[in-house]
Amino acid sequence: MIDGLRLSCSLWAVAHDDPLAHAKRLAKAGVKLWHWDHTDGVFAATGGFSARDATAITQSVGGQAEAHLMMMSAKAEVDAWCDFCERVVIPIETTDCQTVLRHIERRGVQPAVAVSPDTPLIGVSLSQELPVLVMSVVPGQAGSPLLPSTYQRLAAWPAARTGYLGVDGGITLAAIPGLRQAGATWLVVGSSLTGAPDAAQWLQAV
C-alpha cells in the first residue's frame, strides 16, 4: 500500500527468466504484494505461473499474494490459489463467475472480478464492495501499451463504489497520476517495475 494505493507486482514479464531471483531483487527494493497471473490458453494466451510455483516464490521472498485466473472456468483450480492468496480475481465474462466468486468467499479469501477491454460496461451490475480490475490490455497480452480508453472506463464506474477499482496492463510511471485521477485505487504493474534499472527508485517515484 502506497499512500492509499494498492500496488501489486506481476512477474509475467520475467516468468521465463529466473523469476525467483527477480522476486528476491524486487522484494529487497520494497515490493510487498505479488500478483500471480495464470491462464488456460483459451480465455487468454498461455502464460503466467502455476499455483505451485507461485506459492514457492511467495513463501521464499515473503509478502502477500493475489491471483488473477484468466480462465474460461476457474472452478477446478481456484482452491490451490485460495490456499495462499488473500485475493483471487476471475474474469466477469466466465459463465460460472458468480458461483466461483461465492466459493472464493467461502474459503475466507476476497473475491474480485476482472473486466476485459471489449466488455461493455453498460449493464454490468456488481456489489459496490467487490474489487474490480479493469483490464487495460487484452488479457494475456503482457507488454502491450495501456489502452487510452482505460481512463474513460475508470471514470464510468459509480462514484459510490467502496471496493477497490484496479487497472492491469501497460502501466508506466507516467500513466499513474492520470489513472489515480480517473479513480484507480489498485494498480497491477509488470514490466515497467520489473524492468526498471532501480526498482526502489521506481517505487519511491510512485
Per-residue pLDDT tens over the stretch 154-180: 999 887 788 999 999 999 999 999 999
| Structure confidence by residue, pLDDT tens digits, 32-65 | 999 999 999 999 999 999 999 999 999 999 999 9
Provide the domain limits for residue 138. 6-205
- Assign 3-state DSSP to the chain and report helix, strand, coil percentages, each to 5: 30, 20, 45
How much is the pLDDT for 103?
A: 97
Q: Residue 134 falls within a domain, yes or no? A: yes
In this prediction, residue 143 carries a pLDDT of 77
Residue 2 has pLDDT above 80, yes or no: no
* Number of domains making up the chain: 1
Q: Could you tell me if residue 1 is inside a domain? A: no
Query: Which amino acid would we find at residue 140?
Result: G
Is residue 36 included in any domain, yes or no? yes
Do the Cβ atoms of 32 and 63 come closer than 8 Å?
A: yes
CATH number of residue 11's parent domain? 3.20.20.70
Specify if 81 maps to a domain. yes
pTM as predicted: 0.95
Q: What is the pLDDT of residue 1?
A: 63
Q: Quick check: 110 pLDDT over 80? A: yes
In the predicted model, is pLDDT for residue 119 greater than 80? yes
The sign of the CA dihedral 46, 202, 187, 151 is: negative
Q: Categorize the per-residue pLDDT at 31 as very low, low, confident or very high, splitting at 50, 70 and 90.
A: very high
